[in-house]
Amino acid sequence: MKDHLGTRFARRTTQKAILLLLISAFYLPCVSLAAAQKEKKKKTDPAPSADSSKMLIPLTDEQQIDYTLSEMLGARQLGDIEKLHKDYADDVVIVNGSWAPPILGWTNYLAVYQHQRARIQQVRMDRTNTYIKVSGTVGWACYQWDFAAVVDGQQAESQGQTTVVLEKRNNHWVIVLNHTSLAPKVPETTPANAPSGQQQPLRPSPR
């Protein structure tokens, strides 16, 4: 019996690790298409490029970083590798919450991304509680995310947090580090002292 439970636990742990790797390699850091559209509506006529030198009304560094995160999703949805590469540094480091070594460099990341892309369909990912901070030519953003998709033909859902570090190179913000963590879901349980059925009416005590 113990061996059977241990096997089931190991399988679930392995499935969670694989799911996190898929999310980190393919869809993080990103926001949902709907979220990206909302973010774009908040801006005042953004130009196709986040390069502030080419804009009539330059965006702040915080706005450029937020624009970069939104632009990245569009590239992922379209499979536009060239545009996706524009938002990642050649020396980018990708770290996920599973027990796996980090992915070093754009070339290695691209190979993983292309391999995993075909395994995921019907993706929904919502970004919430985003915080962006800039200090000189370095910036970072952290946010929570909610993910749902069909992975290898099966519905999968997860939640987590991501921290992205960016560097301003040639007047353009690029991602140099992406660290993603998967938040464990707490199962809903019924309290042990909860009544199992309808309570019997109280009887008056004998005198």
Q: Classify the C-alpha dihedral 38-93-80-23 as positive or negative.
A: negative
Alpha-carbon gap, residue 100 to 68, rounded angstroms: 27
Asked if residue 119 belongs to a domain, the reply is yes
Asked if residue 198 belongs to a domain, the reply is no
In this structure, the number of other CB atoms found within 10 A of the CB of residue 28 comes to 23
Asked if residue 206 belongs to a domain, the reply is no
What is the structure's pLDDT at 128?
Answer: 87
- The verdict on whether omega for the bond into residue 184 sits within 30 degrees of 0, i.e. cis, is no
What is the structure's pLDDT at 51?
Answer: 57
H or E segment at 136? none
Asked if residue 202 belongs to a domain, the reply is no
Please list, residue by residue across 63-87, b when 16 or more beta carbons sit within 10 angstroms of its beta carbon and e when fewer do: bbbbbbbbbbbbbbeeeeeeebbbb
What is the structure's pLDDT at 15?
Answer: 55
Its domain, for residue 137, covers 2-183
Asked if residue 200 belongs to a domain, the reply is no
Amino acid sitting at position 126: D
How many domains is the chain partitioned into structurally? 1
What is the structure's pLDDT at 168?
Answer: 97
Record the pTM: 0.65
Q: What is the CATH number of the domain that holds 134?
A: 3.10.450.50
- Walking along the chain (207 residues) 10 residues at a time, the average pLDDT comes out as 50 52 47 39 46 70 92 73 93 88 95 84 82 97 86 89 94 94 73 53 52
Alpha-carbon gap, residue 34 to 146, rounded angstroms: 13
Asked if residue 93 belongs to a domain, the reply is yes
- Angle, CA of 55, 43 and 52, to the nearest 5°: 25
